[in-house]
Amino acid sequence: MKCRKCKAVAAVALPSHNTAFCPDCYPVFVRSQVERAIHRHKMIAPGDRVLVAVSGGKDSLALTLLLHELGHDVHGLHVDLDIPNSSTDARAACEGFFAKLGLPLTVIELRREGLAIPLVKSRIKRPICSVCGKLKRYYFNKFALENDYPVLATGHNLDDEVSRLFANTIRWDHAYLSDQGPLLPAESGFARKIKPMYRLTEFEIANFSFLRGIDHVIAGCPYSGKASFPIYKGLWSGLEERMPGAKVQFYENFLREGRPVFAAWSDQQGQLPTPCTECGYPTSAERCGVCRIKAMVADDEK
Amino acid sequence: MIYIRLEPEGRTMHFPRLGTVLQLLRKLGLGNNAALIIRDGELLTPDRRLHAGDEVVVRTVTSRG
């Protein structure tokens, strides 16, 4: 198999694009996909400071590198979950990577907030993955707003987005379907959120990370065994194998044809979030989800 | 013999004979884009041939949390 651009021996074959690239030409392809996503959805305005949520995995670290190389003003934010045999490596990967690039990184420790994930897991009956996701989103958004970052970028890739869209579609969840996409504008106490890697699959990002020598965490979270997204990802990988391009078609067609319909429905409902009575975070209830989690953990300690 | 190391599990296995990367992926029940196939620090596409004595890393790419 030869590189489409220079005809050297290919290192990465991409059936969904019906093409292949060598180690030198492949990063150029990845970069063009991210540039196109940023440009098409007007994700970053000139001069915007970009806060990148980093986990230590390949996606968020690759995103950091790409945004940095594209000339954006990048600041990293990592939430240390305090999970044994996992969080120390994740944090070290982030700190090492940012130090190597000479970029600023802030670490928020959930232990200091009284919300170390093992403690929360032991006190809450809900699936820990959804609680953990809620906590991370809360602190990412809070930090972005409190420190005047106009943009919060995450490393969500095409597989993440397709899995989420599939999960929302299975449930016909109008509310989630109305605002899923690579760009969520700033509103009602939420920072603008962008997903510049949404056009790239996990496989494509893994290849990029390898070729660019990104030292990322490879092991999965020890608590994610019961998560449903890997099941959806497996289903879609099987479909993509037989129908190359199915993922991007499903997602892009949703953005074009489906989302506007659900967004219009959502606008008719007209329910805007209000500030949490305890912390001011936007919520549809009186008290936000994170304050409720804190209260549950504290009650059990008493 | 061709020596295989599976990541992130860290499990090792070996096959007496394999023709191509694609055959390796099929033996492991993996799709073409489910894993990076790495030999001597080089990424291999499914059509590349494997040889006796090769040490190959199979790194699955699906992130879990």
For residue A202, give the nearest of B46, B47, B62 by CB distance.
B62
**Residue B64 covered by a domain:** no
Please write down the HEC assignment for all residues of chain B. CEEEEEECCCCEEEECCCCEHHHHHHHCCCCCCCEEEEECCEECCCCCECCCCCEEEEEECCCCC
CA B43, B37, A95, A42 torsion-angle sign: positive
Mean pLDDT calculated for residue range A68-89: 97
Chain A interface mutation, best of B20, B21, B64, highest count of A Cβ atoms under 10 Å? B64
Q: What are phi and psi of A69, to 5 degrees?
A: -70, -25
Q: Which of residues 182-221 of A touch B (CB under 8 A)?
A: 201-203, 206-207, 210-211, 218-221
| Helix A158-170 and helix A229-242, axial crossing angle in degrees, nearest 10 | 110
| Partner-chain contact B45 A20, CB within 8 Å | yes
**Residue B60 covered by a domain:** no
- pLDDT band of residue A220 (cuts 50, 70, 90) is confident
Sheet of A73-80: strands edge to edge?
A: A105-109, A73-80, A49-53, A151-153, A192-194, A183-184
Q: How many other CB atoms are there within 10 angstroms of residue A277's CB atom?
A: 12
Number of structural domains in chain B:
1
**Shortest alpha-carbon distance between residue B9 and chain A (Å):** 8
Are the CB atoms for B13 and B27 separated by under 8 Å? no
Are the CB atoms for A57 and A216 separated by under 8 Å? yes
Q: Which residues of A touch B46 (CB under 8 A)?
A: 1, 13
| Partner-chain contact A241 B32, CB within 8 Å | yes
| Partner-chain contact B32 A1, CB within 8 Å | no
| Partner-chain contact A220 B65, CB within 8 Å | yes
State the ipTM, two decimals: 0.95
Helix (H, G, I), strand (E, B) or coil at A233: helix
**Shortest alpha-carbon distance between residue A130 and chain B (Å):** 10
Residue given tokens 């549809």 in the structure block:
A284
pLDDT at A277: 94
- pLDDT band of residue A225 (cuts 50, 70, 90) is confident
For residue A11, give the nearest of B8, B43, B65 by CB distance.
B43
| Partner-chain contact A237 B31, CB within 8 Å | yes
DSSP 8-state class, residue A185:
-
Chain A residue closest in CA terms to B43: A11
**Residue B15 covered by a domain:** yes
For residue A12, give the nearest of B43, B63, B65 by CB distance.
B43
Mean pLDDT calculated for residue range B11-25: 95
pLDDT at A68: 98
Range of the domain at B44: 2-54
Mean pLDDT calculated for residue range A115-127: 92
User: Percentage of chain A surpassing pLDDT 90?
Assistant: 80
**Could you give the angle at the alpha carbon of A180 between the alpha carbons of A97 and A166, nearest 5°?**
95
pLDDT at A136: 97
CA dist., res. A233 & res. B8, Å (int): 17
**Residue B30 covered by a domain:** yes
| Partner-chain contact A13 B47, CB within 8 Å | yes
Mean pLDDT calculated for residue range A106-119: 96
**Mean per-residue pLDDT over chain A, rounded:** 93
pLDDT at A243: 93
**Residue B62 covered by a domain:** no
Q: What is the pLDDT of residues B34-55, one digit of tens each?
A: 999 999 999 999 999 999 999 9
Helix (H, G, I), strand (E, B) or coil at A190: strand
CA dist., res. A31 & res. A9, Å (int): 20
Instruction: Give first-to-last CA distance, chain A, whole Å.
Output: 64
Helix (H, G, I), strand (E, B) or coil at A59: helix
**Residue B63 covered by a domain:** no
pLDDT at B64: 56
**Shortest alpha-carbon distance between residue B44 and chain A (Å):** 5
Chain B residue closest in CA terms to A211: B43
Rg (CA), chain B: 11
If one compares A223 and A10, the residue with the highest pLDDT of the two is: A10
pLDDT at B65: 52
Could you give the C-alpha distances from B27 to A102, B23, B37, B61, in angstroms and in order?
A: 43, 6, 13, 17
Q: What is the pLDDT of residues A239-272, one digit of tens each?
A: 999 999 999 999 999 999 999 999 998 878 767 7
Mean pLDDT calculated for residue range A19-38: 97
- pLDDT band of residue B63 (cuts 50, 70, 90) is low
**Could you give the angle at the alpha carbon of A43 between the alpha carbons of A41 and A48, nearest 5°?**
155
Query: Please, what's the largest Cα pairwise distance for chain B?
Result: 37
Task: Answer whether the bond into residue B8 is a cis peptide, omega within 30°.
Answer: yes
Q: Is the pLDDT of residue A123 over 80?
A: yes
**Residue B42 covered by a domain:** yes
Q: Amino acid identity of A221? A: C
* Number of alpha helices (DSSP H) and beta strands (DSSP E) in chain A: 12, 10
Q: Is the pLDDT of residue A109 over 80?
A: yes
Rg (CA), chain A: 20
Q: Which residues of A touch B48 (CB under 8 A)?
A: 1
pLDDT at A175: 87
**Residue B43 covered by a domain:** yes
pLDDT at A230: 82
Q: What are phi and psi of A203, to 5 degrees?
A: -60, -45
Q: Which residues of B touch A238 (CB under 8 A)?
A: 31
**Could you give the angle at the alpha carbon of A1 between the alpha carbons of A21 and A243, nearest 5°?**
80
Contact B41/A at CB under 8 A: no
User: Percentage of chain A surpassing pLDDT 70?
Assistant: 98
